[in-house]
């Protein structure tokens, strides 16, 4: 039997992250050949990965990386099976190293094929699956390019990046605050213009049905009924719909006996209320239409406009919660 020194074991452990006994066994099997020992550990990882392929890897670490010039960024997660592993220092270090590398790749597939200390990222993940004994994989992978990008990571579980149209004096502040908004408020789209009309139609039908069902119970209990909207997105509020709503508002004012000369003062508020009542989907899922978390008197779009001639280009988020 080839005698394996402690220094050789330590060197292999440093290179792979595997336990001392696993490294020693691999070196013994490889008869002291360092490269062959790495291959032994890799094959062990492949066997473990195959056994755990169907396991759910819902724990892990979410990370954001922004380039030095703040024009490109990635949000990604390194996933594992348990919170115990997710909090392990070696696991977190690996996630940080992978994130540093990921910034240079356009998509997840290209990143997985990238070189990581003499092996591909995919091979490294397989190796670490064998080392740790849990399914290890890249979960979310999002990339963004813009004139200026900021980021925010919440509790190592949510990573958000936001791109702005220009690098203004307070771009870093604005981009970070918007990234916090993305992380906490669940936006899925920048604007209602990005919604699939079929999705809006299906969501409208589902929401109306849910409210009508709630109203049946409220009526039974003698409580105030919820308003049943006709629409849920600005995408549905065509010029014709808005014109009809204005005519109905005028008819209501007339029925209430309000003098016609003061209608112009009342109508804007009524139309604003109509739009608010009929754009609930936008307010929930569209970043620009959400109430800004630091000042709920403003929408995100209104807050962005307060910074001057700048707009939000896009945003991305990776979440483990």
* Domain map (residue ranges) of the chain: 6-51, 59-183, 193-305
* Residue 297 phi, psi dihedral angles, 5° rounding: -80, -15
Please state, in angstroms and rounded to a whole number, the distance separating the CA atoms of residues 38 and 18.
10
Q: Between 34-51 and 20-29, two packed helices, what is the crossing angle to 10 degrees?
A: 120
Please state, in angstroms and rounded to a whole number, the distance separating the CA atoms of residues 63 and 122.
18
Token pair 């995919």 in the structure block, residue: 122
Q: List pLDDT tens digits, range 261-299.
A: 999 999 999 999 999 999 999 999 999 999 999 998 999
Query: Residue 64: exposed, middle, or buried by beta-carbon count in 10 A (0-12, 13-18, 19+)?
Result: buried
Please, what's the largest Cα pairwise distance for the chain? 103
At the fourth CATH level, the homologous superfamily of domain 59-183 is: Elongation factor Ts, dimerisation domain (3.30.479.20)
Structure tokens at 126: 């397989």
Please state, in angstroms and rounded to a whole number, the distance separating the CA atoms of residues 207 and 222.
22
Q: What is the pLDDT of residue 253?
A: 92
CB contact at 8 A, 178 and 287: yes
Q: What is the pLDDT of residue 21?
A: 76
Q: List pLDDT tens digits, range 136-148.
A: 999 999 999 999 9
CATH of the structural domain 6-51, one choice from 3.40.1190.20, 1.10.4160.10, 1.10.8.10, 3.40.50.620: 1.10.8.10
Which residue positions in the chain have pLDDT lower than 50?
none
């Amino acid at each position: 039997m080839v005698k394996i020194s402690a220094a050789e074991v330590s060197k292999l452990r440093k290179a792979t992250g595997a336990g001392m006994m696993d490294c020693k066994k691999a070196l013994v099997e490889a008869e002291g050949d360092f490269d062959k020992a790495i291959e032994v550990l890799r094959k062990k990882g492949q066997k473990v990965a195959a056994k755990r392929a169907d396991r759910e890897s819902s724990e892990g670490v979410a990370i954001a990386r922004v380039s030095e010039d703040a024009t490109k960024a990635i949000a990604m997660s390194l996933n594992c099976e348990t919170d115990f592993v997710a909090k392990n220092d070696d696991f977190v270090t690996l996630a940080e190293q992978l994130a540093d590398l990921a910034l240079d790749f356009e998509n997840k597939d290209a990143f997985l094929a990238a070189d990581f200390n003499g092996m591909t990222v995919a091979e490294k993940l397989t190796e670490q699956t064998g080392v740790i004994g849990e399914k290890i994989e890249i979960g979310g992978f999002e990339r963004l390019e813009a004139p200026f990008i900021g980021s925010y990571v919440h509790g190592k579980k949510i990573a958000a990046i936001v791109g702005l149209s220009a690098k203004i004096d307070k771009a870093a502040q604005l981009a970070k605050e918007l990234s916090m908004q993305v992380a906490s408020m669940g936006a899925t789209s920048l604007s209602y213009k990005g919604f699939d009309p079929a999705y809006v139609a299906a969501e409208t039908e589902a929401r109306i049905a849910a409210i009508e069902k709630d109203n049946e119970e409220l009526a039974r209990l003698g409580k105030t009924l919820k308003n049943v909207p006709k629409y849920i997105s600005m995408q549905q509020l065509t010029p014709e719909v808005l014109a009809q709503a204005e005519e109905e508002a005028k008819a209501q004012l007339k029925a209430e006996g309000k003098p016609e000369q003061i209608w112009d003062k009342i109508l804007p508020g009524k139309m604003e209320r109509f739009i608010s009542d009929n754009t609930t989907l936008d307010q929930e899922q569209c970043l620009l239409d959400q109430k800004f978390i630091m000042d709920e008197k403003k929408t995100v779009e209104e807050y962005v406009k307060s910074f001057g001639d700048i707009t939000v280009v896009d945003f991305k988020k990776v979440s483990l919660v």
